[in-house]
Amino acid sequence: MANRKKVNEAVKWYQKERSKYINLKAEIEKILKEALNENEISIESRVKSVNSFREKALREKYDDPVTEITDLTGIRIITLFEKEIHQISDIIKELFKIDYEKSEDKSDLLDADKMGYKSIHYIAELSQEKIYATDLESFSGIKFEIQIRSILQHAWAEIEHDRNYKFKGKLPKHLQRRFYAQVCLRLLIENLTHYQKRLKNFVKIKIIRGRRNFNV
């Protein structure tokens, strides 16, 4: 359990500074929307509530919650196809300054024949070049998290999140296998309609663009 006095001080700090993280979120969204000019990429964002900050500071063992909790502003990029993840990852690396020691690719933690939570998590900050060019000195040194995942990985993550928060114990292996089999089936069923709709839209856009570029 973290030091309650230190946590209370950190919470007071966050209550004063939270509006800055909201403004930072808006700037990051603007940068990403300009760089990822594709209709089939979804960008979600959030800023941690004060209560969520307090709960995380108490739950985890942080010596200094103010500097060590780096996902106060969080951005999630959801792609239609898994192959797009690394393409977008390369763009993110060019747009922002990445803290590679604190960033991770969750898929690296899974064996090749395993299915589970997969997503790239970058801990980043605005580059000094971007700060000076756009007059954003107030955001200098502030870190944020960017997650990149496909729509199917996103569905899996939501299911895993619900299981981990609603059930704190450990299931027997035979029940774990049954659970993951049901999760896979539920994942496919619940996302099939949405996946098909986005795929049709994707094909429609490609056809329209192809007609525009076709010379008679």
Asked if pLDDT for residue 200 goes beyond 60, the answer is: yes
Averaged confidence pLDDT in the chain = 80
What's the whole-model pTM score? 0.72
Tokens of 177: 């296998």
Domains of the chain, residue spans = 4-152
Of residues 94 and 207, more confidence is placed in 94
* Band of pLDDT at residue 157, cut at 50, 70 and 90: low
181/194 Cα distance (integer angstroms)? 21
Rounded-to-integer distance, Cα 107 and Cα 20, Å = 32
Between the CA atoms of 104, 110, 111 and 114, what dihedral angle is there, to the nearest 10 degrees?
A: -150
Residue ranges of alpha helices (H) inside 97-171 are 128-134, 151-166
In angstroms, the Cα distances linking 48 to 19, 56, 147 are 11, 10, 15
109 in helix, strand or coil?
A: helix
Over residues 133-154, mean pLDDT: 87
CATH, range 4-152? 3.30.460.10
